Amino acid sequence: MAGRTAFLYHDDYLGYNFGPSHPLKPKRYEDTLELLQNLGIFDDMVKHYQPPRASEEDLMLVHSQEYIQRVKRQCEKGAGYLDYGDTPARRGIYEASCAKVGGSILGADLIMRGDVNHAFNVGGGLHHATRDSAAGFCVFNDVAIAARHLQQRHDLERIAIVDVDGHHGDGTQRIFYKEPILTISLHRYGGGFLGRFYPGTGTVDEIGEGAGKGYSVNVPLPVGTFNEAYLEAFNEIVPPLLEEYEPEILLNQFGVDTHYQDPLVGLALTTKSYVEVSSVLHHLAHEFSSGRYLIFGGGGYEPSNVSRCWAAMFITVAGVRAKNEDVYRELFDREMKYQNPEISRRVRKIIKDVKNTVFPIHGL
């Protein structure tokens, strides 16, 4: 489907640097831009935008004034942590965080102004941050800020957020838990040290409260979930809910730490899943959301893979042909014929549980 697509990246994203031994490598943002340039996909229809920094007022769409000032002060000092030990308060983190949030807001504005249909903020997707706290390498929740921006400055009511990062989108879920904003998260759950895996939430029975009941949807997947089982869960759960909800815009946190070579997560996906997931969501956005599809980055900790996975997703959504065939061929993982009947069985049970728990609330 023809449409314009924006790629959002600013060199300021490189300041989101927690130090040389930290698993989050900001260079992956720059690498993704370079890879897309090497593929030869930028033209009149597919453009790179450099977003301005978000203002304090933008941050306050989601975060408390007190928390924002604390981040600012602590990052000026450049010592200690912004949470319990995952997210260091280094110099420049506040400014880089504002740059990343600015990318998500500009993406929303470009789409709502009709300048583009789709936008991808490679530096966004900081889904663990909540109103008053940083968490899991996330300082300000740009996904939630973009959703609030769309509600308050573009008068949208039905916003869907699909989070396919390997970790539960707990911050985003918490922010919208009592509101009819549809948040769907597919993530690894359990199976780590003492059966725990970060952040430890995201079970099927977390479905939202009050006006939000049924609008938080969680698909907790076992360690080792591979393409076929993952795509079965995705296709059984996500499209029916989106078709019923008919969002005015589709937001999609697209962490790629679900990749089989990722050192932190332990799921077993390849680029095949990223192409299918983005292709399905892209079609649904055209069918139900006037083509409005705003994508955020997220996790991804094996630096040589991350840019490849995001580029595979991005050219799928943009619907363009790469001019450089050699670079294009290198984007995709080799087809894996991996099967695991025990994992398939467990995933089918989870699909059934999700359908029994939330589908009836939506008349499905």
Rg (CA), the chain: 19
Q: Does 86 interact with Zn ion (rule: CB under 5 A)?
A: no
Residue 136 CB, nearest approach to Zn ion (Å): 7
Of 103 and 202, which CB lies nearer to Zn ion in the complex structure? 202
What Å distances lie between residue 110 and 4, 121, 153, 253, 297, CA to CA? 10, 12, 13, 18, 17
The Cα 182–Cα 256 span in angstroms is: 21
In degrees, rounded to 5, the angle at the alpha carbon of residue 343 between the alpha carbons of residues 339 and 345 is 105
Restricting to residues 285-324, which ones interact with Zn ion according to CB under 5 A? 299
> Which tokens go with 244?
């019923």
Taking CB under 5 A as the binding criterion, the range among 93-101, 140-148, 248-256, 330-338 that sits at the site for Zn ion is: 248-256
Residue nearest to Zn ion (CB): 299
Distance of closest approach, residue 283 Cβ to Zn ion, in angstroms: 8
* Min CB(320)–Zn ion separation in Å: 10
| Whole-angstrom distance, CA of residue 142 vs CA of residue 190 | 26
Asked if 105 and 51 count as a contact pair (C-beta separation under 8 A), the reply is: yes
Secondary structure of the chain: what % helix, strand, coil (to 5)?
45, 15, 45
Query: Which C-beta is closer to Zn ion: that of 74 or that of 172?
Result: 172
Q: Which stretch binds Zn ion (CB under 5 A): 7-15, 143-151, 250-258, 324-332?
A: 250-258
Separation of alpha carbons 59 and 349, rounded Å: 40
1 binds Zn ion (CB under 5 A): yes
Instruction: Considering the complex, state which of residue 10 and residue 188 has its C-beta at the smaller distance from Zn ion.
Output: 188
- Of the pair 83, 95, the CB lying nearest Zn ion is at 83
Cβ 227 to Zn ion, closest distance in Å?
18
CB 258 within 8 A of CB 265: yes
Nearest residue to 59 via CA among 95, 6, 14: 95
Q: Is residue 128 flagged as an active site residue?
A: yes
Measured CA to CA in angstroms, residue 84 lies from 87, 133, 276 at distances of: 8, 10, 36
Smallest distance, Å, CB 297 to Zn ion? Answer: 10
Any residues with CB less than 8 A from the CB of 163 and at least 6 apart, and which?
Answer: 127, 143, 169, 172, 183, 184, 185, 186, 187, 252, 253, 255, 298
> 220 - beta bridge partners?
187
Tell which positions 12-31 bind Zn ion, by CB under 5 A: none
CB of 125 to Zn ion, least distance (A): 9
CB of 265 to Zn ion, least distance (A): 6
Catalytic residue among 128, 167, 187, 259: 128
- Judged by beta carbon, residue 126 or residue 331, the one nearer Zn ion is 126
Query: Which residues are 49's β-sheet partners?
Result: 8
| For Zn ion, the closer CB: 136 or 214 | 136
- Touching Zn ion, residues 156-185 (CB under 5 A): 165-167
Among 88, 125, 222, 255, binds Zn ion (CB under 5 A): 255
Number of residues that bind Zn ion (CB under 5 A): 8
Identify the residue among 31, 170, 257, 262 touching Zn ion (CB under 5 A): 257
Q: Which one of 3, 124, 125, 169 is in contact with Zn ion (CB under 5 A)?
A: 3
Nearer to Zn ion, 74 or 278 (CB): 278
Catalytic site positions: 128
Binding site for Zn ion (CB under 5 A): 1, 3, 165-167, 255, 257, 299
